[in-house]
Structure 1
Amino acid sequence: MDAGTVRTRVIVRGMVQGVGFRANTRAEAGRLALTGFARNRPDGSVEVEAEGPAAGVGELLRWLRTGPRWAEVSSIEVTELEPTGDSGFRLG
């Protein structure tokens, strides 16, 4: 893996389920050439892990603060992780 590769876990809270949040996150991650996943959590939040160049992950983090048009993000919690060499971006 490239030295500039980072991985971040983000818990997104608010009205983020049932509004296309995961699918739009996958599209945004694809645009930024990031790998990882987005999945709904039982508490109503969405968990996102994104891996790739630091600039791309940073851009996704900015996007996650608002999300898609119908979402209402109240907060995000960001945790830095070790890159895993993931491929693709999946929905869970």
Structure 2
Amino acid sequence: MQVETKPKVINRLNRIEGQVRGIVRMVEDDRYCVDVLTQLQAVRAALNRVESEVLKDHLDHCVMGAMTGDDMADRKAKASELIELLGRATR
């Protein structure tokens, strides 16, 4: 992961962790189901944003480095990783 991306991702994940702890308290306090569901949707959206940031970083740094490098095996490995990753994302 690139140096400038890592602190942003960690910060976002820490915020998400706080949101999840808040949801646990909501459930413990028997809060209204729609309120809990709203917070769950917010966490899912936040995780999607983190996932996008990590994927972008991977493409910009790892994949681009492999594609512009001379190692054909590394190129094929990165392409296979992406195909597998995207296949899992569509399930």
Which structure shows the bigger proportion of residues in helix conformation?
A: 2
TM-score using structure 2 length: 0.30
TM-score, structure 1 length as denominator?
0.30
Identify which of structures 1 and 2 has the higher relative contact order when contacts are C-alpha pairs closer than 8 Å and 6+ apart. 1
